[in-house]
Amino acid sequence: MRKIISLICFLLPVMANADVVQVRPDAPDRHIVVKGDTLWDISAMFFKDPWKWPSIWNINKDSIKDPHWIYPGDVVYLDRNTGLLSFNGKGSADSSNSDTDKFNPRIRYGLSQHDAIPSIPYKDLKPFLSQPLVVDDASLSSAPKIVALQEGRVILGDNQLGYVNALPADQGNRWQAYRPGKLFTDPETGEVLGREAIYLGDVEATQFGEVSTVVATKTKLEINIGDRLARSAPDSADNYLPRPPNKAIDASIISIYGGVSLAGQNTVVTLNRGARDGLETGNVLALFSKGKIVKQDGDEYTLPDERYGLIFVFRVFDKVSYGLVMQTKLPAQLLDRARNP
């Protein structure tokens, strides 16, 4: 059996500062962790601001990089007298007879790092972590291009051959096919922010040359002559640490993935702010709908913007970023605002 050393350090004063974290009035006394739980989900059961779970669990930025510390079967407790969270690890080798244990390093038997629960739902992000989403004109013009298909075909299907020009041999043999999509522009300034890259599928180079040969290993959409290739990135994710941005952010939703006009929970949206504006992977932003204009006795009044949800930024480019809608009371719409929570 493999031994996984887990550093478990999370005991916090949740009631010490109501502005930091507030216990939900309907919070349970305890929760047994099950497969499919996330740290965000568990925190939402106990507290009104689940995105603040790094404070709730007293986890720091370094320890979350090795997050193998809570597993299905572990029991999380809320002490209503002290407002403290504690937990008793079912898989620990030194379980005590008390209802709760202090969080000391312990050995887990028979558990691998893959058994540990993630911070946010990885399954909802997985398709977007490695696929190309935004390209600039320079990258587009120099990207390898499919110039022909096997036996005069017009569509490249699974296990079929295609031929690509300018495919570098020193960047591996795993590539992704994409098609340039709509142009992203800033709704306020008109600045061009980049072009959406529509993921089509995966190909593998089998022979390099002036014109290289590739075989399609997975097709999601039709791959045609003229489509471009980008290097495949590892299909993996950090165990993201939610946190507010370090500087003031005021962004707009400029696109909803899939070409729809409304976004619900677990939908991916595009923002018109990126790394140059101070956004980082893991930032949490609050969603606001534009205040309505009402008329009363011949006068017009603009109501305040209404906060209705939270978005988690999981992939950042220079001028745009992608976020997952984590919580929402209303459908998110184009041009809704995303600001510091």
**pLDDT at res. 300:** 85
Structure confidence at residue 185 as a pLDDT band (50, 70, 90) = very high
CA atoms within 13 A on the CB side of 196: 20
The class (CATH top level) of 250-339 is: mainly beta
Q: For residue 15, report the phi and psi dihedrals to the nearest 5 degrees.
A: -100, -5
Q: What is the 3-state secondary structure (H, E, C) of the chain?
A: CCEEEECCCCCCCCCCCCCCCCECCCCCCEEECCCCCCHHHHHHHHECCHHHHHHHCCCCCCHHHCCCCCCCCCEEEEECCCCEEEEECCCECCCCCCCCECCCCEEEECCCHHHCCCCCCHHHHHHHHCCCCEECHHHHHHCCEEEEEHHHCCCECCCCEEEEECCCHHHCCEEEEEEEEEEEECCCCCCEEEEEEEEEEEEEEEECCCEEEEEEEEECCCECCCCEEEECCCCCCCCCCCECCCCCCEEEEEEECCCCCEECCCCEEEECCCHHHCCCCCEEEEEEECCCEEEECCEEEECCCEEEEEEEEEEECCCCEEEEEEEECCCEECCCEEECC
Average pLDDT over residues 75-89: 69
Structure confidence at residue 327 as a pLDDT band (50, 70, 90) = confident
The class (CATH top level) of 129-231 is: mainly beta
Total-model pTM: 0.76
Distance of CA 256 to the CA centre of its chain: 14
Q: In this structure, how many other beta carbons lie within 10 angstroms of the beta carbon of residue 12?
A: 18
Structure confidence at residue 54 as a pLDDT band (50, 70, 90) = low
**pLDDT at res. 96:** 41
Average pLDDT over residues 278-293: 90
**pLDDT at res. 214:** 96
How far apart are alpha carbons 173 and 60 in whole angstroms?
A: 38
- Where do the structural domains in the chain lie, given as residue ranges? 3-119, 129-231, 250-339
Lowest mean pLDDT among 14-18, 29-33, 195-199, 307-311: 14-18
Average pLDDT over residues 69-81: 79
The amino acid that residue 153 corresponds to is R
Structure confidence at residue 227 as a pLDDT band (50, 70, 90) = very high
**pLDDT at res. 38:** 84
Give 169: exposed, middle or buried? Use CB within 10 Å, 0-12, 13-18, 19+.
exposed
Q: Which of 214-251 are b and which e, b meaning 16 or more Cβ less than 10 Å from the residue's Cβ?
A: bbbeebeeebbeebbbbebeeeebebbbbbebeeebeb
% of the chain with per-residue pLDDT over 90: 40
Q: List, in order, residues 6 or more apart from 268 with CB less than 8 Å away.
A: 128, 256, 257, 322, 323, 324, 325
